[in-house]
């Protein structure tokens, strides 16, 4: 009987430790998302519906793995990249509803040179 009690105690400790790791992992993931959106910047498009205004570019940071946009009104957005090879290209347009965070581009390397192209005048917040 004494052996079972000891085994049950060890198992309870292992379960609690595993639960603590899960909670810690969830907290870390939440903190990473908060850090990304916490570094968000306001944007407003120019007459060509792009941000930043030509000839400027933005550069991705280590704050976010993606380029995120939260427009004040619904809009289509596409991300255009200017790699060091000089061959600028844009991804497909993506619809982002008003007041919601949406992905303009995913899994973008840190330091990538880009601008956002909208289908209409737009303002809101972007995190990258």
As averages over each run of 10 residues, the pLDDT of the chain (128 residues) reads 41 43 44 78 95 95 96 98 89 98 96 97 98
Is the CB of residue 43 less than 8 Å from the CB of residue 79? no
Q: What's the pLDDT at 13? A: 44
d(CA 33, CA 85): 31
Is the CB of residue 57 less than 8 Å from the CB of residue 128? no
Q: What's the pLDDT at 115? A: 97
Q: What's the pLDDT at 91? A: 96
Tens digit of each residue's pLDDT (9 = 90 or more) over 69-78: 999 999 999 9
CB atoms within 10 A of CB 115: 20
Q: What's the pLDDT at 33? A: 54
Phi, psi of 55 (to 5 degrees): -100, 20
d(CA 19, CA 6): 20
d(CA 23, CA 19): 6
Q: What is the model's pTM?
A: 0.72
Q: What's the pLDDT at 80? A: 97
The three-point CA angle 18-35-115 to 5° equals 135
């Amino acid at each position: 009987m004494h052996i079972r009690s000891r085994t049950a105690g060890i198992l309870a400790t292992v379960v609690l430790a595993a639960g603590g790791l899960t909670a810690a992992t969830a907290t870390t993931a939440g903190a990473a998302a908060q850090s990304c959106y916490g570094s968000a910047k306001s944007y407003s498009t120019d007459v060509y519906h792009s941000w930043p205004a030509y000839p400027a570019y933005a550069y991705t940071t280590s704050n976010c793995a993606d380029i995120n946009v939260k427009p004040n009104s619904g809009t289509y957005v596409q991300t255009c990249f200017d790699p060091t090879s000089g061959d600028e290209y844009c991804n497909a347009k993506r619809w982002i509803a008003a007041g919601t965070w949406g992905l303009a581009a995913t899994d973008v390397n840190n330091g990538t040179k880009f601008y956002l192209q909208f289908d209409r005048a737009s303002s809101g917040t972007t995190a990258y």
